[in-house]
Structures are given as C-alpha cells and as structure tokens.
Chain A
C-alpha cells in the first residue's frame, strides 16, 4: 500500500504544527520519522491513522482518498508510545480485540479467533503470557502485545509511535531486529517514529528528518550524514562546530584552517559557514596556531580537546593514541584540518539566525 501525502498542514489553536508535508512512501517500505521533540511526528502519524484531521492537504493510500475514511475503516495497525493496552483484558483478549469488534457478518468464529491469537502469541514469542494481564508484564513484553494487537487485524499499514521509547538499551536492540523481521514477514508498509538516530538508520529503508513541522531531508544514513540538506539537519546530526569562512573558487578559507581535505563546492564566492563534527577534525600542532587548547579530557579511548581562539570555544574528539594527540596539553596552540564537513552559504550569525527563524523553538505544551 503506497502512501501519498501532499501539502499537508495542521495547526492546533492557531499554532502551526505541520507546515506543508509532502511525502511518498512505497508499498512495503519501512520508513522512519526522525526529529526532535515537538516537530510534529506524532501528529503526522495520527493523521495517517485517522485520529486527527489536517487543516489542508491530501492523503491517498493505494490511490484511495483516506481523508474521507473513518479511522475504523482504514485497517491500520497503530502502536502507541505507551502501548495503550486495555488493562482489564488478558493478553489474549487484548490481541483478539480487533477481530471481536467486527460486525457480526464479518466476525470470525470464536475458534478461529482463538487460533489466530495463538499463532500471533507464538510469532511474537510470548506464548506463555497469554493469560496474564498487562499490569503483570514488563515493558518489552507489553510492547510485543501492543504489536500483536495491531497485527491481529492484518493491517496493510503499520504505524508505530516511538515503539521502543520507554525501554532500556539492550531490549531496544533486540526488539529492533525483531521488528525488522516482523515487517519483512508481514509485508506491510511501516512507518515508525523515533528521535534516536541510530535506531532510525539501522532499521529503516529511508529516514525522513522532520524539524518544526517540515520535512528537512529524506535519505539513508550516508546521504543524511555526508550531505545534510540544511543547517538544521547538520546540527541535528551532531555537527556542533560552526566556523565562519570565506568561499573562494569553491574552497572554504579561514585563518588557521587547512581546507586541503575538503572537496571544492560549486558555491558562489563570499561568506559562508562550515559545519564540522567534533570527530572529523585533525589538530595540527603549530606554535603560531589560531586555537589554544583550553582543556584536555579522556574517556580512555577518545580524547576531547576544548579549543578556544578568544572569541569562541568548541570541542574536538580524536583517538587517545593518535600521533597528533601527543603534546597537545592545555596551553598548546593548533591549527585545524577538517577531514569532512558541510558548507552553507552566508555568515555564521546569519546562518544560525536564519535557522532559528525558520524553526522557532516552542516549548512542548505537555
């Protein structure tokens, strides 16, 4: 079931939450919605599910207009962040719910439903938990039950809102692989929301990066890492060093900066901002260097150096045993050689102002 979303907007009490979403998801694809808190991920998911309605835009699934279809008739599987299991029903009854509320004519017989539930319990690896109540389950087990309940109606579209948000790291990793397997075996079109980059990139065919109600970029891990489409994405992907540079013939030039490793960019000459990740910078010891080492800390494997040039301070990471690291004690002076980075036109102040103007920070009202 392909999903096509066009020009979708949504506001709550006059506050724009979705500001024009265009997105096409192919049948059978596994897509991650990645973005900071409050960027509208849940809202978009709920609109697809029919639990919210947009102010404008189009939603077509497999060619059919879904905005005129009640949530009950969409046959989607929705997994809530906090599971939303029915506490007064056993695991079995929870999973059977979607089948047992069908109109009498379409409702499978009791035996058929029971067999289907058994099969799902087996598939979800929770066969021994069928008679328990949600309160008697661990977080990971509840998550499986929630997914089982959603899968019981054989949904064509599976929507998961931060499915692993409330679980610890080891369980998350387990369930991640398992969800991929479920997706592949059921062949459904799946969208899941996360704000964990690692999870998004590891699990999804494509990642949709959202910021303040807009889609900032769509791509796989390498594309988004190496070519962030906007300062917002660059920052969100962990580029925390922003240096003002001058572009000359496609090269970023600045005092103390060795741009030899950066590819030339087809950008007009003039002021620009270079976005760097702390691990993509090599320090070059130089007594007349622009930056001075202010602090040096180590976590055993990595060394973090805080550098300052009198106007600004930032940290860079390098392997503790790297030859360049020797002698870089507080007070030493260095120049920098970026190994990779992204350039956006415009001076730094302007770039970050533009970024904040385009994505005004709002507090989540919860």
Chain B
C-alpha cells in the first residue's frame, strides 16, 4: 500500500479534468452570467432614479400585478391537480393509467405557442366554443381566464413529475397502516401522505411558479397584449423593447430576473433538504 495520498488515478494526467472544468465555467459565464449581468447593468445605466421611474410606470406595475395574479391562481390549482394525478397513478390500477402518464407529459414536449393556438381555436370568437361563450357573455380569450388556462397547461406537469416518483417509491404501506389504526381518508392524506411528499411538493411548486411567471409564447397568443389590461411582465418587456424603450425594458426585465433568482435560491435550499 502506498502511503502517498492520491487525488487522482495514477498515470492519468490532471490536464483533461482541469480543461473541462475551466470550459464549464467559461461557457456558463459567457452564456448565463454575462447576459444576466448585462440586464442589470443596462437597467441601472441611467441611475437609480430612472430605474425607479421605469418600474413605477403604471403599465409595468400592472404587468407585475397581473403576472403575480396568474401565478397565485395557477400554482395552487396545479398543486391540487398534481397531487390528485400522482395519487391516482401511484395508488390505483385502472384502464388508461399508462395513457394518463403519457398525457401529463405532453405540455413538456410541445411548444407553448401551439397550446396558445389550440386555446384560441377552442375559445376564440371564431372558435368551437366561441358562439356559446359570446351568448353567455363570457370572455376567455384576450382576458385573464385565457392567460390562466394557457399558463396552467404549460405548467401542468411540474408538480406531478416531482411527486409521482416519490409516491411510487414509498408504496402504500404507511397509508395502509394508518387505515388499520382507524384513520379516515382525509386523516390518512393530511397526516401520512402529505408529510411524506411535502418537500417534493414544494419543489414542484417552485418550478411551477418560475415557469408560470416567465411564460411568454403561449400567453402571447391568448392575451392579445392589451396595454394595462392583459400584458403580463414578459409581454410588457417585449412591448417596451419594441417601442425602443430599452432602459425601461431592462428595468422590467431585471424585476423578472430578480423573481427568477429568488425562486432559484428557494429551489437550491429545497434541494439540499431532500
């Protein structure tokens, strides 16, 4: 036995790992860090006062508010949906179970803009349900319901994908034990099932929030981009950019970026807990 501590396999050069590590850092810096830094640099290019003025713009504030509202509606609904689907797939055998597992992945594999167009064709004025909706004076397209629906579609898989593998791995013995001890359905869920999946659930919710806040493609189809009404933050940023108000666009973008970074930190914290 050699007494020399080996930090790498003998006979293997250290150059290759070093090169790869350096490359990874360099690429991350070029493609991720630099653009992000640029956003903040541009946002503050004309000083704090201008930055605050840009953020305080009523249109921007409204976009922030709308984006938050959408997330506040979508995330809880997706948590409930995610738990229900994961529960059904993990605990029961039923015809169409495999199909359901494939279906919930669809939003990941198709482009959000297609989702937007589908909703437009379904609920739009010329759409399948359009006349009925018009007759009942319900406005789905170019209004909050449409934005919420599309965002919901795009973010549907996040919670299920986190919770399902965990529920499958844990099996149902703990729940069965709770039942034999006299626990009713809701007690089993709240006292045994939920505590077991709480971190995965939170993690899924965080991913879902990040996506709901940042969604652009699908929402841009169904929102109609009505200033001060149906513009979410990503849409507002694009609008300002097209208006050549770059400082304003970067100010708004920095807000969105801050939200994303906060979510990222929460996600990292959750990951270390698991």
Which of B44-52, B94-102, B190-198, B239-247 contacts its partner? B190-198
- The reply to whether the CB of B187 lies closer than 8 angstroms to some CB of chain A is yes
- Chain B residues in 8 Å Cβ range of A84: 173-174, 176-177
Alpha-carbon gap, A87 to B177, bound state (A): 13
Check if A87 sits within 8 Å of B196, measured CB to CB.
yes
Which of B178-186, B205-213, B225-233, B263-271 contacts its partner? B178-186
Check if B182 sits within 8 Å of A153, measured CB to CB.
yes
76-99 of chain A: CB within 8 A of chain B: 76-78, 80, 82, 84-88, 97-98
Alpha-carbon gap, A50 to B191, bound state (A): 20
Alpha-carbon gap, A98 to B180, bound state (A): 8
Count of interface residues, chain B, beta-carbon cutoff 8 Å: 16
- Of listed A76, A97, A150, residue having the most chain B CB within 10 A: A97
**B191: contacting residue among A78, A101, A102, A153, CB under 8 A:** A101
- Chain A residues in 8 Å Cβ range of B191: 86, 97, 101
- CB closest chain-A residue, reference B192: A86
- CB closest chain-B residue, reference A101: B183
- CB closest chain-B residue, reference A80: B173
Interface on chain B toward A: helix, strand, loop, or mixed SS? helix
Alpha-carbon gap, A108 to B273, bound state (A): 36
Contacts A72-B184, A97-B183 given; indicate if A78 touches B177 (C-beta within 8 A): yes
- CB closest chain-B residue, reference A52: B176
Check if B182 sits within 8 Å of A72, measured CB to CB.
yes
Interface on chain A toward B: helix, strand, loop, or mixed SS? loop
Alpha-carbon gap, A97 to B174, bound state (A): 12
- CB closest chain-A residue, reference B184: A72
The total of interchain contacts (Cβ-Cβ below 8 angstroms) comes to 61
Alpha-carbon gap, A82 to B171, bound state (A): 11
Alpha-carbon gap, A86 to B177, bound state (A): 9
Alpha-carbon gap, A153 to B178, bound state (A): 12
Check if B180 sits within 8 Å of A77, measured CB to CB.
yes
- Of listed B176, B177, B178, B192, residue having the most chain A CB within 10 A: B177
How large, as a class, is the contact surface on chain A? Answer: 20 to 34
Question: Least Cβ distance of A41 to chain B in Å?
Answer: 16
**A101: contacting residue among B176, B178, B195, CB under 8 A:** B178
Check if B181 sits within 8 Å of A153, measured CB to CB.
yes
Alpha-carbon gap, A97 to B177, bound state (A): 10
**A98: contacting residue among B173, B182, B184, B192, CB under 8 A:** B182
Question: Least Cβ distance of B196 to chain A in Å?
Answer: 7
Question: Least Cβ distance of B10 to chain A in Å?
Answer: 39
- Of listed B182, B184, B191, residue having the most chain A CB within 10 A: B182
Check if A82 sits within 8 Å of B173, measured CB to CB.
yes
Check if A71 sits within 8 Å of B180, measured CB to CB.
yes
- Chain A residues in 8 Å Cβ range of B182: 72-73, 75, 98, 101-102, 153
Question: Least Cβ distance of A153 to chain B in Å?
Answer: 6
Alpha-carbon gap, A148 to B34, bound state (A): 60
- Chain A residues in 8 Å Cβ range of B192: 86
- Chain B residues in 8 Å Cβ range of A49: 180
- CB closest chain-A residue, reference B182: A72
- The reply to whether the CB of A249 lies closer than 8 angstroms to some CB of chain B is no
Check if A101 sits within 8 Å of B187, measured CB to CB.
yes
Check if B179 sits within 8 Å of A72, measured CB to CB.
yes
- Chain A residues in 8 Å Cβ range of B187: 101
Question: Least Cβ distance of A204 to chain B in Å?
Answer: 22
Alpha-carbon gap, A353 to B178, bound state (A): 44
Alpha-carbon gap, A335 to B182, bound state (A): 63
Alpha-carbon gap, A80 to B174, bound state (A): 9
- Chain B residues in 8 Å Cβ range of A101: 178, 181-184, 187, 191
- The reply to whether the CB of A277 lies closer than 8 angstroms to some CB of chain B is no
- The reply to whether the CB of A51 lies closer than 8 angstroms to some CB of chain B is yes
Check if B180 sits within 8 Å of A88, measured CB to CB.
no
Check if A71 sits within 8 Å of B179, measured CB to CB.
yes
Check if A88 sits within 8 Å of B177, measured CB to CB.
no
Q: List 7 A-B contacts (CB under 8 A).
A: A71-B180, A84-B173, A86-B192, A98-B182, A101-B182, A102-B182, A153-B181
8 smallest beta-carbon distances between A and B, as pairs: A98-B181, A84-B173, A78-B180, A101-B183, A84-B177, A88-B195, A101-B187, A71-B179
Seen from chain A, the residues whose Cβ lies within 8 Å of a Cβ on chain B are 49-51, 71-78, 80, 82, 84-88, 97-98, 101-102, 149-150, 152-153
Seen from chain B, the residues whose Cβ lies within 8 Å of a Cβ on chain A are 173-174, 176-184, 187, 191-192, 195-196
Given A49-B180, A80-B176, A85-B174, 4 new contacts (CB under 8 A): A72-B180, A80-B173, A85-B177, A101-B191
